[in-house]
Amino acid sequence: MTDEQQLWDSYSACWSADPGARPAALAAVAIDDVTYRDPGTEVGNRAELATYMQGFADAFPGHRFRIDEVLAHHDRSLARWTQVGAQGEPVGSGVSSARHHDGKLADITGFFLPAS
């Protein structure tokens, strides 16, 4: 497994992490002033991202993200992911891109793919 794959796997686990463990888990994979954006939001630091992740967890109990593929070069990466429901069923998919800094995610943009 590549370092980038491990980074994205650890990052994706933050979305469904226990709220008490999420800040430390997120600190291990993202810089403090990480930026994150998707069609519904834009945040500018880890604390705001952790809050947004909690909103996801509250809205989709038992859901998680599975990283299906990672492409990386020159401190940038692209991850293809699947949102998995509480029973293990795929419920959505997308891609996220990121700029890295010192081995952590620094600027993340997520895109949801249309249902097929």
Predicted confidence (pLDDT) per residue in 33-83, tens digit: 999 999 999 999 999 999 999 999 999 999 999 999 999 999 999 999 999
Domain annotation for the chain: domains and CATH numbers: 3-112 (3.10.450.50)
pLDDT at residue number 115: 77
Compute the distance between CA of residue 31 and CA of residue 91 in angstroms, rounded to an integer.
Answer: 29
Sign of the dihedral defined by the CA atoms of residues 48, 51, 55, 56, in that order? positive
Compute the distance between CA of residue 58 and CA of residue 87 in angstroms, rounded to an integer.
Answer: 16
pLDDT at residue number 40: 93
Q: Cα angle at 79 between 3 and 114, to 5 degrees?
A: 170
The whole-model pTM stands at 0.95
Compute the distance between CA of residue 54 and CA of residue 61 in angstroms, rounded to an integer.
Answer: 10
Sign of the dihedral defined by the CA atoms of residues 36, 40, 41, 47, in that order? negative
